[in-house]
Structure 1
Amino acid sequence: MLTFKCPLKYLTLYRYTLSRALFKRRIQVMSGSTYMVSLPKDWARLHNLKQHDEVVIEILPDLSLKISPVQSRRSFEKSYTFYLSGLRAYDMIQLVSAYLAGYDEVKINCGRCSADYARSVVRELINKTIGLEIVETSQFEYVVKNVAGDFSIGVDEIILRVFRILKMMLQDLSNALAKEAGRDVYREIAERDSLVDKLTLYGLRVFNKVFMGEILPKDVGFKSFAEVNVYYNILRNLERTVDHVAILARDLGDLDGRLDERVREATLNHINTLADFCDKVMNLYASKSGKDFSSLLNVEYENVKKAEETSRRMIASNPNYFFIYDNLYRVRGYLLDIVELVSDIKYLTQRLQFEEG
């Protein structure tokens, strides 16, 4: 009989063998309306389940069922040890990926790197994320832990915050361009991208925990995995939109006022129409009512397209300013993608209501 005192290598082998097993069960009907099926004994023993213990049954998008022990979802803390390589870009990508994967504790070992290098990497990681704090240090290792939990900021609130930041960035960019502001003003606008990155990483971490089955969609305010996937893509598109506004702000700041007047006017009009469009898309998302948004596509979106065409013709004779058109074109594209995703939410909600009815 298997117990949890057996050597780890045998337990791992047993888990692998069990994960590849197929079990057939006959459906039993109780009281004429309740369908019952028994669980494999080995699976129940592996999870240390006893009589009256609870399991969670999820209906997946393909209508198959996923059964998980309740205790495996709760009080589950993952720890990971990472050895610094000394290549900063590589080390940061790896550590951020561990955060996104849902690790609650990361032990950062200096390896052959200096203590100063390790300290700077840890500081950058903490600045890039929400919830990570240093809980233990030694000569060769830093231990950072997620102390905020994964529900301190709701996913819906994160998306609305990013929307508001994006709207203000576009408005402030327009004001800076109109007043021929200096490089520092543009730089301040661009630096707001770091806050959006922190919010996005936090949201993606929560989404990943849902996708991996650690938490349920209802734990973060959703009714199905399909709905979670739509919101995941909305947040991703918002992040990319902010990236392009930040890039544009930096590049305009580098021009230091050296901008053709006709290009300035065309760019101002383009940014202002995008700011109006962004505001309407944000309101559409926030309403959650599934209301008709044909006016948004007939008016605001068409205004953006007209401004975009004017900008495109202007840039054709001034190729040095192509970066302006390119970034604003991409902003429009991502905002339109979000409109389509909001439409997806509307029909998913309708279908779920129909299924529940």
Structure 2
Amino acid sequence: METRKIYMSGGSSYVVSLPKRWVEESGLKSGDSLAIEARGNSLLLEPVLKEFENPSRELRISTISTPEALERQLIAHYLAGYEMIKIVFDVNESVKFREVVRNVMNCLIGVELMEETSEYILLEVLFDNRKMPTIKVLKRMHAICKSMLEDVARAIEDGISIKPEIAYREGEIDKLYFLVVRQLKCALQFHQISSKLGIENTRDCLGYRVIVKNIERIADHVRSVAEVSSELITRGNSLKEYLPIMRKVEHVYNASVEAIIDMDYERLEEVFEMSDALIDELEGYFNSLFSEPSVEIALLKKSILDSLSRVVSYSEGIAEIGVNYSVPMPKI
């Protein structure tokens, strides 16, 4: 850590010099502007972002071992905040790599194909963060996940399968999850972006990251419940005895997320109490499987109960973030 002396300039302004190395690495020069924000006893300085700046990156297929590796690289560059990604096909076999590019485009929000030739594909992220702040994305994820829980329970009650519909909505949650991670990474790097995203304090970024990851995992388990219940219903098995516990799991999940959205932190303690009671109740359902005549059916039902148990655990994790939010940061 470097120290700098403060000087008086003109009798009314205080002046401090900037480290030369930081100025050069940031691409700044004399006459450029800095964004300054006071944070308690600290000052945050960063270059003023220009609206026309589009971070770009070129990926050469000759340096990427497999199509799967290209998929990981494209997602990583999207999450890192790149606006333009050029994929150069400098190898003879490029068909599978092109398929990966198209599949990734369908998994990421805002990614559009701007140019395509035999030599390269140019992707650009066309997304305005101001139209979709992070809290709005979180609410959207919650609404989809909530509807998934409700509809799976309704399908079990009616004895029908909605597996394709649930799989589609789970994919939508994955897209929103990637978008939030991209937003949070950019917010941590540039505070000017965090203000556009509606994030008042960058310490909240870590909490948002955990919340959306838990919602994404909950959606995965709801999809699993839909798939397994569909198979059991197809075989003529009724799962209506699980409806009471499913309604309670749904209630715990809704309470955990909505308490954070509404900043009703007192409600979070109810979530922990309900979660403890649900874990005990689920144990009873697990024990009832020993009386199931078919081992195969018992294992399928156990899979459903395992997923419901994980939903409760992830809901508790969301509530814990809410408790952390309720505690003010100490003043140093």
Q: Can you give the 5+ residue segments of structure 1 that lack an aligned partner in the other structure?
A: 1-21
* 1:91 and 2:105 aligned: no
For 1:267, the aligned partner's letter is Y
Q: Which residue of 2 aligns with 1:327?
A: 307
Q: CA deviation at 1:251?
A: 2.5
Counterpart position of 1:13: none
Q: How does 1:187-266 map to 2 (within 5 A)?
A: 187-213=164-190, 215-258=192-235, 261=238, 264-266=239-241
1:283 matched to 2:262: no
Cα distance, 1:289 vs structure 2? 4.4
Match of 2:47 in 1: 69
- The 10-residue stretch of structure 1 (200-209 or 246-255) with the greater mean CA deviation from structure 2: 246-255
1:346 aligns with 2:326: yes
* Counterpart position of 2:248: 273
1:38 matched to 2:17? The reply is: yes
1:122 aligned to 2:101? Answer: yes
Q: Kindly tell me: are residues 268 and 67 of structure 1, through their superposed partners in 2, closer, same or farther at Cα, counting changes over 3 Å? A: same
Give the direction of change, closer, same or farther, for the CA distance of 1:43–1:277 in structure 2 (3 Å limit).
closer
2-side partners of 1:234 and 1:70: how far apart?
30
The 2-side partners of 1:41 and 1:155 are apart by: 35
TM-score for the superposition, normalised by structure 1: 0.79
SS at match of 2:114: strand
Summarize deviations over 1:75-97 as a string: whole Å, max 9, x none: 43221222345733322122111
Q: Any residues of structure 2 matched to 1:99-178 within 5 Å, and which?
A: 99-112=78-91, 114=93, 116-178=95-157
1:304 is the counterpart of 2:281: no
Task: Work out the CA distance in 1 between the residues paired with 2:39 and 2:213.
Answer: 23
Give the Cα separation in 2 of the matches to 1:48 and 1:293.
47
CA contact (8 A) 1:269 1:307 kept: no
Distance 1:343 1:29, change over 3 A: farther
What residue in structure 2 maps to residue 3 of structure 1? none
Match of 1:81 in 2: 58
Aligned residues: 323
Q: Distance in 1 between matches of 2:119 and 2:88?
A: 6
Select between 29-38 and 236-245 the one with higher mean Cα deviation.
Answer: 29-38
Post-superposition Cα deviations, 1:197-225, rounded to whole Å, max 9, x if no partner, equal: 11111111111112233744323212222
Question: In the alignment, is the contact (CA less than 8 A) between 1:209 and 1:215 conserved in 2?
Answer: no
Residue of structure 2 equivalent to 1:10 = none
Compared CA separation, residues 307 and 191, structure 1 to 2 (3 A) = farther
* Residue matched to 1:50: 30
Q: 1:110 to 1:213 in 2, by over 3 A?
A: same
Give the TM-score taking structure 2 as reference length. Answer: 0.84
Structure 1 residues 117 and 44, CA, compared in 2 at 3 Å: closer, same or farther? closer
Q: Distance in 1 between matches of 2:67 and 2:282?
A: 39
Residue 266 of structure 1: how far off its partner (Å): 4.0
* Change beyond 3 A, Cα 1:144–1:42: closer
Match of 1:204, SS state, is helix
From the superposition, tell whether residues 170 and 45 of structure 1 become closer, same or farther in structure 2 (CA, over 3 Å): closer
Q: Secondary structure at the match of 1:225?
A: coil
Code of the residue aligned with 1:193 in structure 2: it is E
Moved more, 222-231 or 83-92: 83-92
Shift of 1:287: 0.9
Aligned positions of 1:6-25 closer than 5 A: 23-25=2-4
Instruction: Describe the SS at the equivalent of 2:81.
Output: coil
**How far 1:171 moved relative to its partner?**
1.0
Contact map agreement 1:115 1:139 (CA 8 A) in 2: no
Matched residue type, 1:201: F
Deviation at 1:181, TM superposition (A): 0.9
Contact 2:38 2:44 in 1 (8 A): yes
Return the alpha-carbon distance in structure 1 between the equivalents of residues 315 and 92 of structure 2: 43
Aligned-pair CA distance for 1:101: 1.0
Distance 1:89 1:269, change over 3 A: farther
Q: Distance in 1 between matches of 2:285 and 2:42?
A: 51
Q: What percent identity do the matched residue pairs reach?
A: 23
Deviations 1:246-295 (A, max 9, x none): 1221222233433655xx24432221111122222232122124444434
Cα RMSD after superposing both structures: 3.1
SS in structure 2 of the partner of residue 123 of structure 1: helix
Shift of 1:116: 3.9
C-alpha contact 2:279 2:309 (8 A) present in aligned 1: no
